[in-house]
Structure 1
């Protein structure tokens, strides 16, 4: 399981979505206090769902097609989260009170990148298995 590169990619994506949002701030509110994912139940739920999907896909290494579909679903979930963050960033006031966007808003982007790399590796494995089956 772990000897395949897509397993490493899925593990990194799961760790990014499950651990990092609770250490890095997503944005800073009007009072200057950093906002983490644990303060918003929807955001933390989507991050947890993304991490759980990555772990389920990691543990389902015997069924590559199912793994591929779970990764696509996880990418859609992260795109939804990224869209929410873009909406939130555009609605943060930038006038008299200074509001900052945190580095945690980029976590879905990195998660999507690792999921895409995992899907490419899964596709490569699937093509390799099909070519070996053709030779039999």
Structure 2
């Protein structure tokens, strides 16, 4: 299982998505107040101004899809489908990051952190994993044809 390159891609992607639970996404400066945007939502001095439960739930679902895909190594087609769903949800997560930051405040200075690009890196790694799984599937089917 771990000796396959697609498993390494999925594992790295799962680790990146898991890191989103602990890292901040952005800092927002609005009217001389500094807000923090993290998994809880948009927070100002410990109080939540915008709830981020939708983002937390979406990150949890994406993480579960990656973990499930790692253990579905015997069912390659289902593995590909779960990774395609994870790619779509990652794109939605990336959109939600920008929606939360720009929807909440007008004329605010936003400083995004490096963790915002983790969904994009995860999309690239998932695509590479899908390609490798497709090659494995083609190899298995060609061997079945020879028999």
TM bracket (short chain): 0.7 to 0.9
Distance in 2 separating the partners of 1:110 and 1:33? 26
Highest RCO, 1 vs 2 (Cα 8 Å, sep ≥ 6)? 1
Q: Tell me which residue corresponds to 2:44.
A: none
Using the size of structure 2 for normalisation, the TM-score is 0.82
Which runs of no fewer than 5 residues in structure 1 stay unpaired? none
**Contact 2:101–2:110, Cα closer than 8 Å, also in 1:** no
**Cα gap change, 1:93 to 1:101, in 2 (>3 Å):** farther
Q: Tell me which residue corresponds to 2:87.
A: 75
Q: Tell me which residue corresponds to 2:12.
A: 12
Structure with the higher helix share, 1 or 2: 1
Q: Does 1:116 align with 2:116?
A: no
Q: Give SS of 1:22's match.
A: coil
Asked which structure has the greater CA Rg, the reply is 2
Q: Deviations over 1:69-92 (max 9, x none)?
A: 000111111111112223334446
Moved more, 56-65 or 26-35: 26-35
Deviation at 1:131, TM superposition (A): 1.1
* RMSD of Structure 2 on Structure 1 (CA): 1.8
Deviation at 1:115, TM superposition (A): 0.6
Runs ≥4 residues deviating over 6 A: none
Structure with the higher strand share, 1 or 2: 2
Deviation at 1:11, TM superposition (A): 0.8
Give the total of aligned pairs. Answer: 134
